[in-house]
Amino acid sequence: MASQTLNSERLAQARRVVLKIGSTLIVEKKTGSLQRTWLDALCADVAAMRASGQEVVIVSSGAIALGAGQLGIDLTRARLEESQAAASAGQIQLAHAYQEMLDARGITAAQVLLTLDDSENRRRYLNAANTLFTLLKRGAVPVVNENDTIATQEIRYGDNDRLAARVAQMVSADCLILLSDVDGLYTTDPNIDSDAKHIQEVTELSAEHWEMAGGPGSDHGSGGMRTKLDAAQIAMGAGCRMLIASGRVEHPIKILQDGALATWFLPSSNPQTARKQWIAGTLKPRGTITIDDGAKSALISGRSLLPAGVTDVSGQFERGEAVRVKDQSGMELGRGLISYPADEARAIVGRRSGAIVDILGYRGRDELIHRDDLALTSDGSG
Ligand code: GLU
């Protein structure tokens, strides 16, 4: 199939897209200033995606490069605190630019600054994910970056390729677009080898692909091909399609839809299936929730588990951890991620969701386990 039809069809299939923008696209190298015309055209592309019903999360680099220009910091020899200071000055400019350019198109931009901890620590992961979901539900476009100002060397991503993939996983995005100055993966480095061949599609990452990216141990640094393959690995594991495409054009998304060269990474499953497989495969559920027959049939017909249908809670777990769900006979029906810690779950057993606020003193989720967080392993017939 011609790449035009291929790109436009695949892009149109995506409902939730994470768009990662590399520093080199946003910041003019010599002057260190913002590429306003380019960014404005990109925001027009984002507005078109929103208008077609797609949800968009932007992961934007550029804070450090922008701030360095402003503060007169030479990044080739900057110490950590100098890049952090640069990020601090640059991020406010970057956020302002997105706010202004998206607002001009009637879209609310919302800044989200994340650290590695926010994606690796379960509780913080959930908080970040819930904030992003809420923003998307309200029609906003989250603009994410690493919180470079406080992220020290040991706890840094350092590159937004992997951060963007984690964000895509967090929000169950079905497409991640990495826009930078390269239009895909090549068999060898196209800058030095004129025989380098462009790869159009990857359905399974293999040693060969890592070799093409410079092999393990090669240091392409932030924004290199290796971090892009790291991102592909995370995205594919989460059932999210990913593509590496060039942003070195005005209206890069439109150009992509028109058939620009890109490398697609195509996982075999979708985000929902990947997530459920991951939940079902939890090795050590932390607790057991026993439910009544009414709740059992609700679950089997695809609904969420409400506290009212629960008869017993056992085990010690935190919010967001995996638990077993059993019926009255003790048969395991499935596994799910629970919305409340064990003590709170016990306190609301058998109660209506409307009573949660009075019992716990805050308004949590109505569902004890939301259907998106529930993987049934049995149809209940025994
Ligand atoms: N977070 C960094 C910044 O905004 C960029 C990291 C990267 O280039 O991937 O400057």
Looking at the fold, whether 249 and 314 belong to one and the same domain comes out as no
Task: Please report which confidence band the pLDDT of residue 95 belongs to, taking 50, 70 and 90 as the band edges.
Answer: very high
Pocket of ligand 1 (CB under 6 A): 23, 61-65, 87, 145-146, 148, 159-160, 222-223
Is 382 among the domain residues? no
Both 107 and 244 in one domain: the answer is yes
pLDDT at 120 over 80: no
**Which residues fall within 8 angstroms of residue 350, CB to CB, at 6 or more apart?**
307, 308, 310, 311
Mutate to test the pocket of ligand 1, among 115, 144, 148 (most ligand atoms within 8 A of CB): 148
Whole-angstrom CA distances from 310 to 289, 302, 354 are 7, 17, 15
296: domain CATH number?
A: 2.30.130.10
The residues that bridge with 312 in the sheet, in sequence order, are 290
Q: How far is the CA of 222 from the centre of ligand 1 (A)?
A: 8
Q: 234-261 as b/e, with b when 16 or more CB fall inside 10 Å?
A: bbbebbbbbbbbbbbbebbbbbbbeebe
Whether residue 290 sits in one domain with residue 226 = no
Same-domain check for residues 192 and 251? yes
Q: Where is the domain boundary, 269, 302, 322?
A: 269
Given a cut of 50, is residue 221 above it in pLDDT? Answer: no
Residue 378 is predicted with a pLDDT of 74
Asked if residue 275 belongs to a domain, the reply is: no
**Does residue 126 lie in a domain region?**
yes
Same-domain status, 264 and 288: no
- If asked whether residues 205 and 320 sit together in one domain, one would say no
Would residue 42 count as lying in a domain? yes
Q: How far is the C-alpha of 99 from the C-alpha of 350, rounded, in Å?
A: 45
Q: Is residue 43 part of a domain?
A: yes
End-to-end CA distance of the chain: 47
Out of 236, 269, 302, pick the residue that ends a domain. Answer: 269
| In-domain check, residue 351 | yes
> Residue 223: its pLDDT value, please?
55
Q: Which atom of ligand 1 is nearest to the CA of 60?
A: 4
Give the range with max mean pLDDT: 10-24, 124-138, 278-292: 10-24
Residues 237 and 352 in one domain: no
Which residue among 23, 153, 156, 225 has the greatest number of ligand 1 atoms within 8 angstroms of its CB, and so is best to mutate? 23
290 in the same domain as 262: no
Same domain, 194 and 161: yes
Q: How remote is the CA of residue 295 from the centroid of ligand 1, in Å?
A: 47
Contact 231, 161 (CB under 8 A): yes
Residue of 159, 181, 220 best suited for mutating to test ligand 1, as the one with most atoms within 8 Å of CB: 159
SS3 content of the chain, % helix, strand, coil (to 5): 45, 20, 35
CA of 160 to the centre of ligand 1 (A): 6
Task: Say which CATH number the domain at 42 has.
Answer: 3.40.1160.10
Same domain, yes or no: 299 and 231 = no
Q: Is residue 253 part of a domain?
A: yes
Please give the distance, rounded to the nearest whole angstrom, from the Cα atom of residue 62 to the centre of ligand 1: 6
Residue 278 lies in a domain: no
Sequence-distant (≥ 6) Cβ neighbours of residue 364 within 8 angstroms: 339, 340, 344, 356
Mutate to test the pocket of ligand 1, among 29, 64, 73 (most ligand atoms within 8 A of CB): 64
The per-residue pLDDT for range 169-204, each reduced to its tens digit, is 999 999 999 999 899 999 988 888 899 999 999 999
pLDDT reading at 342 higher than 70: yes
pLDDT score of 217: 42
- The answer on 296 and 197 residing in a single domain is no
Number of domains in the chain: 2
Q: How far is the CA of 108 from the centre of ligand 1 (A)?
A: 23
Pair 300, 265 in one domain: no
Long-range contacts of 155-160 (CB under 8 A, 24+ apart): 155/115, 155/116, 155/117, 156/115, 156/116, 157/116, 158/222, 159/221, 159/222, 159/223, 159/227, 160/20, 160/22, 160/59, 160/60, 160/61, 160/222, 160/223
Q: How confident is the model at residue 218 (pLDDT cuts 50, 70, 90)?
A: very low
Confidence of residue 281 (pLDDT cuts 50, 70, 90): confident
266 CA from centroid of ligand 1 (Å): 26
Per-residue pLDDT, averaged over 261-269, amounts to 95
- Taking the whole predicted model, whether its pTM rises above 0.75 is answered as yes
216 pLDDT higher than 60: no
**Tens digit of pLDDT for each residue in 284-329?**
899 999 999 999 999 999 999 999 999 999 999 999 899 999 999 9
CA 161 – ligand 1 centroid, Å: 9
29-41 residue pLDDT tens: 888 899 999 999 9
The residue range of the domain holding 335 is 283-376
